[in-house]
Amino acid sequence: MPDSVLPAIRVAHAHKRYGAHAVVQDVSFALAPGETLVLLGPSGCGKTTLLKLLNRLVEPDAGTIEVNGQDVRRQPPAVLRRGMGYVIQQVGLLPHYTVAENIAVVPRLLGHSPDSIIDRTTALLNRLHLPPERYANQYPHQLSGGQQQRVGLARALAADPPIVLLDEPFGALDPITRASIRREFRELEELRRKTVVLVTHDVTEAFELADRILLLNAGQVQQLGTPRELLLQPANDFVRQFFAAERLALQLRTLTLVDVAPFLPESQPAESAQTTIQEVLEHLTLAGQPRAARPYSFDLAQLMAAFGQALQREETAWKR
């Protein structure tokens, strides 16, 4: 992050203990406006506590937390939280409110006009694939888990906060629904200009959604970096072992054609340079696809050989 850019969030030497148990230990990071940071780690590592320090649901024992250059302890908690969307795994929709009324809670507290609230609610429902004519007047118990989670996200975005905090937002969903909502989340225009902090223990989710990942263990930062850096340049044995079970799948999703291009027999179209190896594999193995229709001039064996050479190059470069 350039020195001239004021961090959206800055955490300096944060500590939190519960009795003798240190939950957050000397955690520091700065987050640029519009960046997505994923807090990742095993259960009990302190990620949810760290998230709650940001909106003062939990108070630190030591350290400084700033939002847009202001110490959060100098702001009333209610005022601070109105500038942050907050989504949790349990969603927390008000059961006696309709979908539209749930989404409108914060805009009403902020004194937005009724017409602007209706317009905003309608727009968000449409963007989250919940047609308002069908869902606006339904109650939470009438929705599926995935639909409830979409409404929870719409509520968090309703007042257009610059910062959105999400605590295991997709954790209670089945794998198919979870993958679908992650895609929608990643593609949602509303979030592309916001600063997002997301807690998860799901490695694939972290790699799909993060600009950077902060990996925690026992309340301590093990590594902060891009998904690629954590995977290919692990800072210690914990980082290396944390990704070991899914390493190949993550490598296929992280390396792109531009990484393997030097080891392929022919140059590839520039427009496909950022295509991941996983996406290329899906094209090459698509059943029933005539070879003439395939967009690549290499075959599966050539791709995997190039992939192996690219990984070897990355490992050699990191060890230097």
Give the residue, 273 or 7, on which the prediction is more confident: 7
Check residue 65 and give its pLDDT: 97
Alpha carbon 65 to chain centroid distance?
21
Average pLDDT, the chain: 88
Give the residue, 147 or 183, on which the prediction is more confident: 147
The answer, yes or no, to whether residue 147 has pLDDT greater than 90, is no
Q: CA Rg, the chain, in Å?
A: 22
Q: How far apart are CA 116 and CA 112, in angstroms?
A: 7
Q: What is the mean pLDDT of residues 134-153?
A: 90
Percent of the chain with pLDDT over 90: 59
Residue 299 half-sphere exposure toward CB, CA atoms < 13 A: 3
Q: pTM, whole model, 2 decimals?
A: 0.87
The answer, yes or no, to whether residue 203 has pLDDT greater than 70, is yes
Q: Taking the chain, what is the end-to-end CA distance rounded to the nearest angstrom?
A: 25
Q: What is the mean pLDDT of residues 141-163?
A: 89
Check residue 193 and give its pLDDT: 84
Question: Residue 139 — pLDDT band, cuts 50, 70, 90?
Answer: very high
The answer, yes or no, to whether residue 124 has pLDDT greater than 60, is yes
Check residue 146 and give its pLDDT: 82
User: Tokens 């979409």 label which residue?
Assistant: 150
The domains located in the chain, with CATH, are 9-249 (3.40.50.300), 255-319 (no CATH)
- Please tell me the least confidently modeled range out of 94-103, 155-164, 187-196: 187-196
The answer, yes or no, to whether residue 32 has pLDDT greater than 70, is yes
Which CA distances in Å does 115 have to 104, 107, 111?
11, 11, 12
